[in-house]
Structure formats: C-alpha cells, structure tokens
Structure 1
Amino acid sequence: MWLFLPFVVLPIIEIALFIQVGGAIGALPAIALVIGSAFLGVAVMRWQSTRAAMDLQRAMQEFRAPGRPMAHGALVMIGGMLLVVPGLFTSMLGLLLLIPPVRSLILRQMASRVQVSGMGLHYSQSGADFGTDYPAGFRPGRGGREDGVIDGEYSVQDDPPAPVREGLTDQGGTGGKPGNSGWTRH
C-alpha cells in the first residue's frame, strides 16, 4: 500500500501546482518552465556523469575514500532526473538537490540512520559455519581452531653482509637504550 502512495499523491500535487502557477503566470509560460526544466535536467545529467568520474578519479589518486564524491554525484544525478520528469514540484525538488548544502544535509541525515555492523567467519570442527561453498582460494583453518591461533610457516634466512647488518640492529648509535627489541638477534 505504501509503495503506491507516491504514485497517487505526486500527480495530484503536480496538477494542483501547475494550475496555481499557470493561473499566476499563464499556461504557456508554465509549460515553458516544465520544458526548460527538462532540458536543464538532461544538461545536468550529462555534466554530472563526467564530473562524477573526475571526482572519483581524484579521490582515488589522493587516497581518499570515494564514498563522499559518489554520494554527492548520485544525488545530483537524481536531481537531474527529477528535473527531466514533467512537473513543477519534481523540478523544484531536483533544483534543491543541485545545492551542495542541501545535499550535505541529506547525506548527514542518511548517515545518521545507517547502522554498520561487522561480519566475521566462525569456524567449527567441520569448517566455516556458512557452508562448504568457499570463495575461490579460501580454505578453512587446519584443525578448526577457535582460539584465534593462525598456523604459519617460516624459514631462517642467512644474515646479510656486515655493512647492511650494522644498520639493522638496535644497538648504539640512535641515542636510545640498547636492548633486545625482539626483531633482531643479539
């Protein structure tokens, strides 16, 4: 029922608003507003597609999380689509989504309602508890340990030549107290 409510209410709002605006400025200027907003919406969507790609690329180059540029880009695209939809109310909503502070407010409201939870794998004696369809390259731990121990292998490498080895130890030269750091052999 709630899904169909916007499809009933939105046309009623659009018709009532069109009648009010058409009565104030005339029918032809009101129609011109609707057509002009559709052209503006197409231009915004074309412009935003290239801008979103550049923002995403810049975020990746600067090693920033791409979520913010993607979210703003998505809201601008939605705004462009609302401008293309015939009607004055949807065009007004589309124009509001083109204003950066409005987008930031919407994203803050959406982020306050998002709840993040972690996901982990729990092992039993028979393997992971999500079944036997493991992702490519994944195999459950040996023995089905549940104590957090990770099995591994290591090999001992020969010490490098003396000039290289001198810079690797924590004995003397750094002004700190010489001692066993656990990373070097003494």
Structure 2
Amino acid sequence: MKRLPWFVAAALLVVPIVEIYVIIQVGQVIGGWPTVGLLLLESALGAWLIKREGRRAFAALQGALDTGRMPGKELADAALLLVGGTLLLTPGFVTDIFGFFFVLPFTRPLARKVMSAFLGRRIVAQMGGNPITGFMPGTFRPPTADQTEAQRRRNDENVVQGEVVDPDQPPRPQDR
C-alpha cells in the first residue's frame, strides 16, 4: 500500500485545527448562531454554484467531444469543480475560500494554471526528468542536417535491390 505524500498528511492534521480556530474566532465576533447561519448559507451558495458550473462544464465537455478536439481544459475544469465542490460542502471558512477559488468562473482559469503547473512538475519528476526545465531523458530532438545526411547514406548502403515474393500467392502469368 502506498503512503500518503507528507503534505497531504499534514493538511489532514492542520486543516481541521485551523477551521475550528477560525470558526471560534468568527463566533466570538458575530455570535454562535450567526456563525452557524453563515456556514449554512455558504454551503447552500456553494451547492447552487456547483450545480450551475457543473452543467456549464458538462456542456463544454460535450461540445469539445462533439467537435473532435481534445477536452483538456474542460477536464481540468471538471476536476477543479469536483475538488471545489467538496471543499465548499465541508463546513468551515478556510475550505470555503479555496472552494470558491476553484469553482467561480472568473478565478477558475488561474486555479487551472496553478494546477497544471503543479501536476506538470510532479509528472516530469516522477518520470525521472528535470522538474525545473521539464527535460525528460529520451525525448525527441530534431536531427541536425549532418545527422540527417549521415542517416540517409546509411540507409542507402543497406538497401538490397530485389522483389518481394509471397509464397502463399500463385505466380503471376508474366513470372511463369
């Protein structure tokens, strides 16, 4: 069984403590019942927003698939909506801030860029490349003119003139 990355384990320990602290602080300023009401209001607003943006994301995904283009942006938006919706439905003010950042249509492009950069570096690092430059060993580099000419000469030297004969086919009339 694979272990959780250290930052996920730390987040699972730290986030609930931070959420409880912030809820207590807000409760001391505005009162207990208004704090509970505000948390319920944020959850209801988040659920409505997820429903609306989810429909838009699904329509955009369908449109991309119908036109035959790769739905990379649409799939990233769907992932952000899934994570953002989970954060919005989790009680707490800190998770709601991040949830709204992932879900709102005017902040989602920035979240998509951050997620793309983070995942790109992780993938390159996992595959043994340089996470800073993105260079991966064995990746394609266009050949130089000298390399292309040398390859052409080697190919010309290895050509054997002849004819391919298929033993399963009967001989043609001109070959008899």
TM-score interval (norm. to shorter): 0.5 to 0.7
User: Is the Cα–Cα contact under 8 Å of residues 44 and 77 in structure 1 kept in the other structure?
Assistant: no
Do residues 6 (structure 1) and 11 (structure 2) align?
yes
Q: Who is 1:87 aligned against?
A: 92
- Shift of residue 101 of structure 1? 4.4
1:104 and 1:118 map into 2 onto residues whose CA distance is 31
Do residues 108 (structure 1) and 113 (structure 2) align?
yes
CA, structure 1 residues 42+110, in 2 after alignment: closer, same or farther (shift >3 Å)? closer
SS in 2 for 1:4: helix
Tell me the alpha carbon deviations over residues 71-110 of structure 1, each in whole angstroms, 9 at most, x when there is no partner. Answer: 1122123212211101111111111222334322232233
CA RMSD of aligned residues (A): 3.1
User: Is the Cα–Cα contact under 8 Å of residues 23 and 92 in structure 2 kept in the other structure?
Assistant: yes
1:118 and 1:104 map into 2 onto residues whose CA distance is 31
Max Rg structure: 1
* TM-score normalised to structure 2 length: 0.58
Tell me the alpha carbon deviations over residues 111-141 of structure 1, each in whole angstroms, 9 at most, x when there is no partner. Answer: 334138699xxxxxxxxxxxxxxxxxxxxxx
Of 57, 65, 68 in structure 2, the residue corresponding to residue 63 of structure 1 is: 68
CA, structure 1 residues 100+46, in 2 after alignment: closer, same or farther (shift >3 Å)? closer
Relative contact order, higher structure (CA 8 A, sep 6+): 2
Tell me the alpha carbon deviations over residues 33-81 of structure 1, each in whole angstroms, 9 at most, x when there is no partner. Answer: 1112222233233334432221111112333321101211221232122
Q: Who is 2:30 aligned against?
A: 25
User: Is the Cα–Cα contact under 8 Å of residues 83 and 90 in structure 1 kept in the other structure?
Assistant: yes
What residue ranges of structure 1 are gaps of 5+ in the alignment?
A: 120-146, 154-186
User: Is the Cα–Cα contact under 8 Å of residues 37 and 91 in structure 1 kept in the other structure?
Assistant: yes
Of 41, 44, 59 in structure 2, the residue corresponding to residue 36 of structure 1 is: 41
1:51 and 1:84 map into 2 onto residues whose CA distance is 20
Do residues 46 (structure 1) and 51 (structure 2) align?
yes
1:43 and 1:11 map into 2 onto residues whose CA distance is 24
Runs of 4+ off more than 4 Å: 116-119
CA, structure 1 residues 94+110, in 2 after alignment: closer, same or farther (shift >3 Å)? closer
Q: Who is 1:135 aligned against?
A: none
1:118 and 1:111 map into 2 onto residues whose CA distance is 21
Percent identical residues: 32
1:99 and 1:46 map into 2 onto residues whose CA distance is 12
- For 1:167-178, what aligned pairs fall within 5 Å after superposition? none
SS in 2 for 1:89: helix
